[in-house]
Amino acid sequence: MDYVEYGRTGKKVSAVGFGGMRFDIKRPDEENAELVRYACSKGINYFDTAPGYCGDKSEVIFGLAFKDMPGQFYVSTKAMPEKFDTAALAREAVMKSLDRMGIPKIHFFHVWCLRNTEHYRAAVRPGGMYDGLVECREEGVIDHIVFSSHLPGWEVKEIIDSGRFEGVTLGVNILNFPYRWDGVQAAADRGCGVVVMNPLGGGAIPRHEDRFGFLAWAGERPTEAAIRFVVSCPQITVALVGFTERRHVDLACRVAEKARPFSPADLAGIRKHLSENMNAMCTGCGYCADCPSDVPVATYMQVYNEKVLFGKTEQEMIKLLDFQRKWGILICRKADACECTECGRCEEACTQHLDIIARLKEIAAWEKPK
């Protein structure tokens, strides 16, 4: 297992991290805790969890594992600024997580799920969540204040540039990385740690390996290619992978041990490869961003990729759009799909020559189902 410094914190973390969102909660807690210990024995030393994960059992499972887990390891957990909106409530969240996991400190505490700039401003207002976390850091019960976000890369960059955070957790994978890369690069340039979640597209890549064969090198499965991608990007510190079985741990560790760092030319080649092999998919290049009606075209096209890639039904797309509008990448939109004036500027700029106007019409219908 390779280890790299998390930003400028001095902490050497494993290239693969244990994402605590995929435990099989039908199994006994102790059996899941044993999986955590096994991952530690394989060299994984970064463990990420949150209240509410796995039916609110994830922190408890980690706590069982940590009781007798040897060696140095690092723990990451989170709290949402909407719920813990004062300094006192933020401290309460920290202390509850410490108690549930039975540990003396949390190494990386996230301001969790910043979905728009208003959430960020609320978190950092005087007397708010961020101030409470600073107090906890001074008290020694957390080491580093970080954040997680599903915002587009350019908005992540604005938060990074504030200088308040030492790291960020983002949803990045081999399929969506062009859309997220501004944020990844900004964090890396500033010396922040970059942890990526959903490196397997929320499980979509393993479930549809027949669709993604073009991602893989000779003798490699698409799932392995997806893990290799995030581990090989020098800008990325930790790739969080969700495990339910030992063989999943073994696969991720084996890929990480063989991976070599990408060069800028390698990344450019992967972008080109995606474009050539998925000509009906938005690659997230952002050239369509200059919409006179402020419709977030690239963001809508990222959501539409779910239909292109996985053949989602109309009802599934309606549900997905509702989630993205309330919780995901569409929460910060300035205009809806129905506000498209069909000027054609986005289609002229599109490197994939997508039928964007027709797709926006379809999306508009899904946003206002009968």
pLDDT band with cut points at 50, 70 and 90 for residue 300: very high
Q: Same domain for 23 and 63?
A: yes
Q: Same domain for 63 and 146?
A: yes
The whole-number pLDDT of residue 351 equals 66
pLDDT band with cut points at 50, 70 and 90 for residue 54: very high
CA distance 127 to 134: 11
Q: Same domain for 162 and 96?
A: yes
- Non-local (6+) Cβ contacts of 16 within 8 A are 1, 44, 227, 231, 238, 239, 241, 252, 253, 256
The whole-number pLDDT of residue 32 equals 97
Q: Report yes or no on 73 lying in a domain.
A: yes
Contact criterion met (CB below 8 Å) for 58 and 50: yes
Range of the domain at 23: 3-268
**In this structure, how many other beta carbons lie within 10 angstroms of the beta carbon of residue 184?**
23
Q: Supply φ then ψ for residue 293, to 5 degrees.
A: -100, 5
In terms of Cα–Cα distance, which of 167, 94, 174 is closest to 129? 94
CA distance 342 to 347: 9
Q: Quote the number of domains for the chain.
A: 2
Q: Report yes or no on 274 lying in a domain.
A: no
Q: Which of 253, 268, 283 is the last residue of a domain?
A: 268
Q: Same domain for 217 and 145?
A: yes
Q: Same domain for 84 and 143?
A: yes
Q: Same domain for 314 and 256?
A: no
Q: 314-367: per-residue pLDDT in tens?
A: 999 999 999 999 888 888 788 999 999 999 999 988 867 789 999 999 999 999
Q: 99-129: per-residue pLDDT in tens?
A: 999 999 999 999 998 877 888 999 999 999 9
Q: Same domain for 151 and 260?
A: yes
Q: Report yes or no on 223 lying in a domain.
A: yes
CA distance 214 to 221: 10
Helices (H), 51-152: 53-56, 58-66, 87-101, 117-124, 129-139
Q: Same domain for 163 and 76?
A: yes
- C-alpha distances in Å from residue 349, one per residue of 136, 177, 270, 346: 48, 19, 21, 5
Residue 174 maps to which CATH number?
3.20.20.100
Q: Report yes or no on 321 lying in a domain.
A: yes
Q: 25-50: per-residue pLDDT in tens?
A: 999 999 999 999 999 999 999 999 99
